[in-house]
Each structure stands twice: as structure tokens, then as C-alpha cells.
Amino acid sequence: MLHSTPSAAPSADAAAVAAPVRVRRRQVDPFLTSATGALILLGLVVNFSASFPVALEYGTPNTSYLLRHAAWVVVGLLAATVMVSVDFRVWRQWSVPLMAGTLAMLMVTLAFGVNRYGGERWLLAGGSVQPSELAKLLVIVYVADWLSSKRDEIRDVTLGLMPFAILIGTVCGLIVLQNHLSTAILVGGVATAMFFTAGAHLGQMVASGVVAGLVIVGLIVRSPYRFERIATYLDPYANPWHGGWQVIRSLESFERGGLFGVGLGQGQEKHVLPLPHTDAVFAVVGEELGLVGCLVVLVLFGIVAWRGFRVAAGVPNRFASLLATGLTCWIVGQALLNVAVATNFVPTTGVPLPYISYGGSSMVACLAGMGLLVNLSRWVEPTRVKLYGNLDLRRGDRRSRLSRTHRARRLGR
């Protein structure tokens, strides 16, 4: 539910948020930037190898997909530069218009989107612009603003849970109507993680999870192709020439790769894998770079998770902490979901691997999100960062898991 800033006298927490941040801005987090840079470079190399069979199939030059991918990386880096340069508090001031624009964008896509792979998710025929990718970032900004404006109200069903459920349900519903259930689950999961971190009642979270689970099961049962994916996940060899083909070939890629891989450009499974440069790019990594290459990718995303949650623990106010939490959960959660699909831990989805999969809007959105997270890292006070600074997971369901304003005052913020 869209909200506006009340005209009444602001609370102490609101005043603290609105006041200038007294923490001196520092250099950007070198671990975040280095890990992201390494993932981008690895993505360029792997994409050149993985997209070669696709280019051959469509009769385009061998480097055509690599050049497009590189172009989107440049656009994404420009977006990240803007996010690093602009004061993060500006996005809070624009959160309501951005959320309204997100809803409008999703509705326009639903009405006029290009139908590819069974889903109307693209605004352009080229298949590189998906508004649902940008929606991930904008929803995080809005939810961080909405949650940071509340305290005990979050635990109230009518003031906290119901407005939150209506808002996220609307966004996820529009994405589901575009036949992209996995993205809807990701958006809902990240928003729910932020809601829990802000201090939601554990009992309400459990009840909401049960309701959401029943809705997801209903959507799967009523959709033949989703139900087929579940059956394929349970037994991919039952239909090896149709639904199980991608899963089997993906698993064969990891088996062929072994410990060190067969070498860059030497993989064979990418010639038969569906979408080897996008959804199945981690399988290409597994075959050509082996277990070592896969572990490198996981370690890099692990560094992003470590530093991202460190930022959430050390930034100067509640909005910034929730924003860093949401951004970290999104990027790392999407990466883990893609890896889980490639290794058949979850049913097949169409979620790309951040910074590595061939990308358009996904690459730009993920880099913009990282730019915002790097921006927030400039406001962290290293000497005051503790595991339970702003992000206090030790607390039960009786109090907020974010430290209150008076704690920030005691720390001199």
C-alpha cells in the first residue's frame, strides 16, 4: 500500500533519519567492488564460450552475443556509478513515485509485452528488457522506506502485516500473470526477509508463510507446465527427451567437468543445453572450469553476502540497514537459486545468475543494486561494526531485530 509522509510532528526515529548523517563517508568497500568485478570479468569470459553455439545456431558472428553482453555491462556500470554518486537518502524521498512507476510498468508489460518462452515479460522483441528485473530493485527501496517509518506498528496485523501483504501480493501477482513465478517468489522472499528483520511477529510470519505456500501450490497445480517441472525435478529421467533434457544435460556438465574442468571453450554440453548463456550458464562453468571454478563463483557471492550484511550492521540508520539487507538478500538469493536449479536442488526456473548470465535488464538492475550497496558501504563506521549492530538476529519475536534510535545515539551517530 503506497504511503505518504505524514504532516504531523515526526517521531524521534523519523527525526533521526531525516537529520544529516554524522558518520563520515569513507572509501567504498574494496571487497564488494573486487568480488563484483571478478564476477563480471568471469561472466564476460564464460559468456563468450557459452554463447558460441547460440550464435552458430542463428547464423550470427561468434562474438555477437559477447558484444551485446559487454554493452549491457557498460550500461549497468554507468547505472552503478550513478547509484554510488547519489546520496542514498534521495531514493527514500522518491520511493513512492518509484513504487507507483513499478506497478504501472508491470501492468504495461502485461498488456503489451512480447510473448517469449510462454511468458509476456519483455517490452522489446529482442528479449533483453524485463521490467520485472527492475522491479526487484525498486520494491526493495520502497519496502525499506515503508518499514523504516514504522516501529511497533509492524507487529500490528491491520497496520503492518495486511498493508505489507497487499503491496507485495499486488507486485507478485502482476509478475505471476506474466508467467514468471520464480521471480515473484524471489521478490516476495526478499521483501519478507526485510519484514522479518524489521521486527515482524514470528507467529504472523509463520502464518503468512503457510498462506503463501498454499497459493504457490495452487498456482503449480493449476498450471500444466509448472506441474511438469515439478515432476521433472523429482525424476528427470522419466522424460529424458523433453522436460528432463535440461536437467540431465546440466548434471552431465558437472560430471564431465570433474575437479578442474575440460578447459575454457572445450565444453560439449553447451551445444545441447537449452539457453547455455543465460539460465544454464553455471552448468557451463561446471564443465569448463570444474568444481574449482564453481567454488570460485560461490566464494565470490559469499564475499558479497558477508560484506553486504556487514554494511547492514554498520550503516547509520534504520532505512539504510533495511536497504542493505534487501539488496544483499536479492543478489545472493538469486545467485543461489540459479545454482540450485543447475544442480537440480529445486525445479527449473528462468532466474539468471547475477553478473555472469548473458544479460540485459537483469545485468543493469543487478549492477545498479550493487552500486547502491557500495554507496551504503561508504557510510559504515568500521570501529563500530559489530555482528549485532543494527541487524540484531539474537532477539526473539518480541522486539525489533533492528537497533533503535537511542542505541545509535549512544554510539554517537
The pLDDT value given to residue 398: 45
In a domain, 209, yes or no: yes
Q: What are phi and psi of 173, to 5 degrees?
A: -65, -40
Identify the helix (H) or strand (E) that includes residue 85.
Answer: helix 64-85
Q: Which of 332, 302, 311, 325 is nearest to 375 (CA)?
A: 311
User: In three state form, how does the secondary structure of 7-57 look?
Assistant: CCCCCHHHHHHHCCCCCCCCCCCHHHHHHHHHHHHHHHHHHHHHCHHHHHH
The pLDDT value given to residue 20: 44
| Beta carbons within 10 angstroms of residue 320's beta carbon | 26
Which residues have a Cβ under 8 Å from the Cβ of 278 and sit 6 or more positions away? Answer: 352, 357, 358, 359
In a domain, 13, yes or no: no
Residue 71: strand, helix, or coil: helix
Cα separation, 307 vs 35, in Å, equals 10
Q: Which domain holds residue 176?
A: 24-410
Amino acid at 98: L
Q: Which residue has the cell 554507496?
A: 375
The pLDDT value given to residue 71: 95
The pLDDT value given to residue 19: 44
Share in percent of the chain as helix, strand, coil (round to 5): 65, 0, 30
Cα separation, 401 vs 197, in Å, equals 5
In a domain, 290, yes or no: yes
In a domain, 47, yes or no: yes
The pLDDT value given to residue 190: 96
Identify the helix (H) or strand (E) that includes residue 98.
Answer: helix 95-112
Cα separation, 411 vs 85, in Å, equals 27
**Regions of the chain where pLDDT drops below 70:** 1-25, 114-128, 383-413
In a domain, 9, yes or no: no
What domain count does the chain have?
A: 1
Give per-residue pLDDT as tens, 78-104. Answer: 999 999 999 999 999 999 999 999 999
* Predicted structure pTM score: 0.86
In a domain, 10, yes or no: no
The pLDDT value given to residue 383: 65
Q: What are the grid coordinates assigned to 111, written together?
A: 498488456
In a domain, 18, yes or no: no
In a domain, 275, yes or no: yes
